Structure 1
């Protein structure tokens, strides 16, 4: 029978610590950002002790953790932007005080939608639509404990809003957004099906965050030393090289100022208006 595919390979106690090694925290109570780490320190740094005992790593998050931390917030912001645009259209037709988008968003979570509509003195023809949008905003911003509840909340928020949508279409679009980083990951992450024996539920290496571990606190096998981490596997060379390349690209990129991005978006919008 052919050996099943894994991105990692097992290593023995005699194998020295190297780039691509996967570390697991001894303390099960550490945060998800420190639970599993991927060693990024170069092999030559280990060989010549250039790293001064400090091992540079990046987190390995479970797929659910990564999607909850990185993808759900993006979807949430997109939905909020759409809802704010809808309620802004309602308020623009009425004689109401100028309210910023940020304040409208906060208000939706602070007061019942019916109370907000009453305070704004909206007519019945606008009140129902405004309440639906405010309810949607509140649902999107309500904290949830896990990915499953987060997805359910975003689905219900869209069905609560004013846009007539079928549940199956809403779910399909949401799942498409969540599947996107698997096949087409952003530059600062990469999906791994497994990272070590018994750790095969799917993980994302998140390359934008750096963690450092003191090398003497890493155990390579059974030991009596007070270890904070133990090595549990090593990524195969091709995956190590791909991860290191992505890691380097993250910190080689040059960020541009927000003012530039805002003006860029304005030019893009103006271009669209010329064809309508």
Structure 2
């Protein structure tokens, strides 16, 4: 009978600390960035003590934590854009000072949309459209505690904004993006179904966040000394190598300035308007 699939394998106390080992924080109150870590320090560095006792790791985030922290904000930005565009188009025709997208977004959270519309003194039906867009933005930017709450707000915000879609479409816009994080993860993350015995609820290795742990603070088995982490498993070679390769690619890429990206997006938007 075939054994159940798992990306990890168990290791014994006699196995030395190595690349691909999974560490679990002893402190139950550890943050999500420190609760579970994956060792990235190379085996040769351990063998020849090149790491000077510092073990380089990346966090293994619970799937809901990763999606809430990394993907929900991206979806929010995508969904806010058409609402801001609608407001800009209306304000461009109105005798009001130029207001940046950033300020419009801040304004939507600071004051009630109905009050903002009154101050702008817009005619109907422009006032209704701007009010709807501001309500949607206000809802999207509300703080949430769980992934379910985040998804729910993004869906409802689409339904109260301008050009509202059907509910099924609104749900798909959010859920399909989240699903792609599993099927086609970004270059700085990789989904793992399980990271150790009893740890099989789904996790994402997030490769842009680095933690360092002192090697003496890591326990490889039962210990009477005070430790901060205990090793619970080791990634199988194929997955360990894939994660290390992705980790290297993240830091080999050359980032471009935000100003460039904003101007690039503006040029792309203008091109689309020329063919509308």
Structure 1 residues 259-268 or 129-138, which shifts more? 259-268
**How far is the alpha carbon of 1:174 from its aligned partner?**
1.1
1:53 is aligned to 53
Cα 1:270–1:113 change in 2 (3 A) is closer
Distance, in Å, in 2 between the alignment partners of 1:240 and 1:60 is 13
**How far is the alpha carbon of 1:227 from its aligned partner?**
0.5
- For structure 2, the residue ranges without an aligned partner over 5 or more in a row are none
Distance, in Å, in 2 between the alignment partners of 1:265 and 1:167 is 29
Q: Could you list the per-position Cα deviations for residues 99-118 of structure 1 after superposition, in whole angstroms to 9, with x for gaps in the alignment?
A: 12111111111111111111
RMSD: 1.4
Q: Secondary structure at the match of 1:124?
A: coil
Distance, in Å, in 1 between the alignment partners of 2:177 and 2:39 is 30
Q: Could you list the per-position Cα deviations for residues 166-203 of structure 1 after superposition, in whole angstroms to 9, with x for gaps in the alignment?
A: 10111112111001111111111000000001000000
2:210 is aligned to 210
1:184 is aligned to 184
Structure 1 residues 223-232 or 79-88, which shifts more? 79-88
Q: Secondary structure at the match of 2:232?
A: strand
Q: Could you list the per-position Cα deviations for residues 191-250 of structure 1 after superposition, in whole angstroms to 9, with x for gaps in the alignment?
A: 000000100000000001110000000000100010000000000000000000000111
Distance, in Å, in 2 between the alignment partners of 1:229 and 1:59 is 13
Distance, in Å, in 1 between the alignment partners of 2:262 and 2:142 is 28
**How far is the alpha carbon of 1:16 from its aligned partner?**
0.5
Distance, in Å, in 2 between the alignment partners of 1:233 and 1:69 is 25
**How far is the alpha carbon of 1:257 from its aligned partner?**
2.9
**How far is the alpha carbon of 1:152 from its aligned partner?**
0.2
In the superposition, the TM-score normalised over structure 1's length comes to 0.96
**How far is the alpha carbon of 1:267 from its aligned partner?**
4.8
Q: Could you list the per-position Cα deviations for residues 102-145 of structure 1 after superposition, in whole angstroms to 9, with x for gaps in the alignment?
A: 11111111111111111111223222111111100000000000
| 1:239 equivalenced with 2:239 (yes/no) | yes
Distance, in Å, in 2 between the alignment partners of 1:112 and 1:70 is 28
Cα 1:264–1:84 change in 2 (3 A) is closer
1:257 is aligned to 257
| 1:113 equivalenced with 2:144 (yes/no) | no
1:96-107 equivalence runs, <5 A: 96-107=96-107
Q: Could you list the per-position Cα deviations for residues 132-169 of structure 1 after superposition, in whole angstroms to 9, with x for gaps in the alignment?
A: 11100000000000100000000000000011311011
Q: Could you list the per-position Cα deviations for residues 61-110 of structure 1 after superposition, in whole angstroms to 9, with x for gaps in the alignment?
A: 01100000110000111111211101111111211122121111111111
Structure 1 residues 227-236 or 114-123, which shifts more? 114-123
Q: Secondary structure at the match of 1:56?
A: strand
| 1:69 equivalenced with 2:69 (yes/no) | yes
**How far is the alpha carbon of 1:59 from its aligned partner?**
0.3
1:123-142 equivalence runs, <5 A: 123-142=123-142
In the superposition, the TM-score normalised over structure 2's length comes to 0.96
1:201 is aligned to 201
Distance, in Å, in 2 between the alignment partners of 1:161 and 1:247 is 39
